[in-house]
Amino acid sequence: MRGVRSTAHRFRVPLDHKDPAGEHISLFAREYSSTDHSDADAARLPWLLFLQGGPGVRGNRTTQLSGWMKAAARDFRILMLDQRGTGFSTQADSVTLPQRGTPAEQAAYLRHFRADSIVADAELMRAALGSAPWTVFGQSFGGFCTLSYLSLAPEGMDRALITGGLAPLAGPPEGVYRSTFRRVAARNAEYFTRYPEDRAAVTRIMRHLDRVEEFLPTGERLTPQRFQMVGSFLGGNTRVDALHYLLEDAFADASGADRLSPVFLDQLPAVVSRRSNPLYALLHESIYCQGEASNWAALRVLAQFPEFAPDAPDPLLTGEMVYPWYFDEDPSLVPLKETAELIAAVDDWGPLYDVQQLAANTVPAAAAVYSDDIYVDRDLSLETAVSVRGLQVWETADFHHDGISDDGDAIFSRLLAMTRTA
């Protein structure tokens, strides 16, 4: 690998941190450092723990340092964690979860895969590495975990950096979805202004899927509501252009009859399936729950936004929301349907944040808030920011949710500098 050295680390941690003598699981993390530092100098650098977005997404793999990682490697050793259930850590997916037993046993197991457990994992890893309090950098859901870290184990942190990840400190999750549906609707309008021809293209595809059976390469029928998931492209600066290129390939001429093209259909599984990260579908709503059940909050709020209905005159594309029909239409999720229903009904989730601790925070902290973020609402983020003592906010309209993919070097460097002048 050019300009980067990497070292694999494995750790054993309790499944339930309240029962340290009970079942243990494995965690994997990869250390990255720059070869601009000698081996000896790199070993003396302080640690930076990166917490990935998700839930249910493994840590980044890289063959060379670029973007925020290049900026961070000037001053830190980067620890890239595969959060529990992902990557080379003990996995939780459609293959391994049924081995846990009944859906009720699977749901009980998955109660230990939220931010509070990830924070406890991090503290055990820090101790195993012999690290002083370290810098924690959280993107999206990783930012939620960083807020939990500031709440539950601030003594383990030297500073906190957050991008697109200031979570609401209290539920219920319905408030999140009311805000994000409005953001997604506005982003649809912006997109169709940018590419007006795509308004007719989306409606045409939706109506076609009502009438004609089209099948994904994975074998299942592509439904209109599943096609709407391509709205995930709207969460990025440059990904909106990728959506346009996806849509322009949609139709092929098959003996004079409209059919979706193989090129188009071949691109969709990576967008409309949770095969590689089923924890996202299973736990997404629970990351907003503290003491209440989600009960498929996004589906219930969807009824207040009829413009997203598949049979609307010109239906809008959806965002990152999760719906129960995922577990009927995505073959990788079908075995987990009953488990998902049980998780949606859990009404005694524990706390993820300590509001009093956050109000007394002494850890230098800085956060990038994206004004038009369709995944983590700007207004809710700013409400949270004022509840964290000393948290400095940089709000910008120059980026969307994936800002660190666009200009990670500048974003990371700015946040780091903000914590150094606090």
- What does the alpha-carbon distance between residue 373 and residue 258 come to, in Å, rounded to a whole number? 36
Report how far residue 53's alpha carbon sits from residue 146's, in angstroms, rounded to the nearest whole number.
11
> CB burial class (10 A; 0-12, 13-18, 19+) of residue 22?
exposed
Q: Is 140 exposed, middle or buried (0-12, 13-18, 19+ CB in 10 A)?
A: buried
What amino acid occupies position 354?
A: D
- Distance between CA 322 and CA 294 in Å, rounded? 11
Q: Is 144 left (phi over 0), alpha (psi -120 to 50) or beta?
A: alpha
The Cα–Cα gap between 143 and 404 comes to: 13
Residue entry with tokens 């609402």: 377
User: Which residues contact residue 38 at a Cβ distance below 8 angstroms, ignoring those fewer than 6 apart?
Assistant: none
SS3 254: strand
Cα torsion at 232, 149, 15, 56 (round to 10°)? Answer: 10
**For the chain, what is the radius of gyration of the CA atoms?**
22
How many whole angstroms separate alpha carbon 370 and alpha carbon 294? 26
Alpha-carbon gap, residue 127 to 156, rounded angstroms: 9
Give the list of residues 6+ apart from residue 178 with CB closer than 8 angstroms, or none: 301, 304
Give the burial class of 175: count Cβ atoms within 10 A of its Cβ; 0-12 exposed, 13-18 middle, 19 or more buried.
Answer: middle
Active-site positions read 140, 348, 401
Q: How far apart are CA 260 and CA 223, in angstroms?
A: 12
